[in-house]
Amino acid sequence: MSKIIDGKKIAQELKEKIADEVSSLSRKPGLAVVLVGDDPASQIYVNSKEEACQEVGFYSQKVVMPVKTTQEELIRQIERLNQDKKIDGILVQMPLPSHLDEKTTILAIDPKKDVDCFHPINLGELVLQKKSLPMNQLLASCTPKGIMRLIHSTQVELVGKKVVVIGRSHLVGKPVALLLLAENATVKICHSKTVNLADECESADILVAAVGVPRLITAEMVKPGAVVIDVGINRVGDRLVGDVDYKEVSKVAGFITPVPGGVGPMTIASLLENTLILAKRRR
């Protein structure tokens, strides 16, 4: 049976370290989260981020805007936060209502306050990174950064290992591949057009599944002893399940993340860490 990678425990340990560091600062780091509309899942995410800020002693602003907000109104709100000296990090909760443009919105955020690192300047910095940085200095998208911490927790050596990332989004797949490359892993990105996906997965020492397809990865697709990171969060009936068939794959893998309780808590903890890094850079 696999060893479970406990994202809740690792995230809590990181939050305790952040809180200790914040207690010694002369000014609290500040995080602003902008929510447009009334999507229930987004409301839950935003509330959990606000609670996490309180837990570590951050200053936080929750900006809630109506679903009919125009692009111009959203940009004005972001520009206000760009100028707010109390705010070190800005996050606009995705997805946005369909009439708003994600790219235009991200471009409006000051790259020095882009806490989720989606701005082209910050993504470009990640592309140009030639070697890995310590996690407490690394600015990278929150979910990929959290994934890296989960992999590090296994103490499996990354140098030379074959990693298969399933999913090519700019939110997870591409950034996590870049972070893995910076640690000298050999990385292959697979997606919906990949031929013989099962064979590619079975060859991986480390497998990262981030496609949003319930239980796509079966035990037959996993190399015995592999590290399996499940990024998927899919609602099936009244349950949340991942992209990995956890029950069966856990009998084969060496390490595996559960859903929920794996990648999710690490995403929020990484958001807090990124805010702290931005706050220290601004000083």
Catalytic site residue from 116, 205, 243, 245: 116
With a CB cutoff of 8 Å and minimum separation 6, the contacts of 214 are 232, 234, 236, 241, 242, 243
Residue 40 CA to residue 139 CA, distance in Å, equals: 29
Please give the CATH number for the structural domain made up of 26-110.
Answer: 3.40.50.10860
Are 46 and 105 a contacting pair, CB within 8 Å?
no
Catalytic site residue from 15, 88, 93, 245: 93
- Cα angle 246, 154, 232 (rounded to 5 degrees) comes to 35
With a CB cutoff of 8 Å and minimum separation 6, the contacts of 235 are 241
> Would residue 49 show up in a list of annotated catalytic residues for this protein?
yes
pLDDT reported for residue 282: 86
> Would residue 43 show up in a list of annotated catalytic residues for this protein?
no
**Which part of the chain is CATH 3.40.50.720?**
141-264
Catalytic site residue from 15, 49, 145, 223: 49
pLDDT reported for residue 224: 98
CATH topology of domain 141-264: Rossmann fold (3.40.50)
pLDDT reported for residue 283: 79
**Which part of the chain is CATH 3.40.50.10860?**
26-110
Show the low-confidence residues of the chain (pLDDT under 70).
none
Are 247 and 230 a contacting pair, CB within 8 Å?
no
Q: Partners of 18 in the beta sheet? A: none
Give me the half-sphere count of Cα atoms (radius 13 Å) on the Cβ side of residue 276. 28
Residue 46 CA to residue 176 CA, distance in Å, equals: 23
Q: What are the pLDDT digits (tens) for 22-42?
A: 999 999 999 999 999 988 888
Q: What are the pLDDT digits (tens) for 113-146?
A: 999 999 999 999 999 987 888 999 999 999 999 9
> Would residue 38 show up in a list of annotated catalytic residues for this protein?
no
| Alpha helices (H) in 57-134, listed in sequence order | 71-83, 102-108, 120-128
Cβ count within 10 A of residue 105: 19
Which helix H or strand E contains 229, and what residues bound it?
strand 227-230
CA 218 to chain centroid, in Å, comes to 24
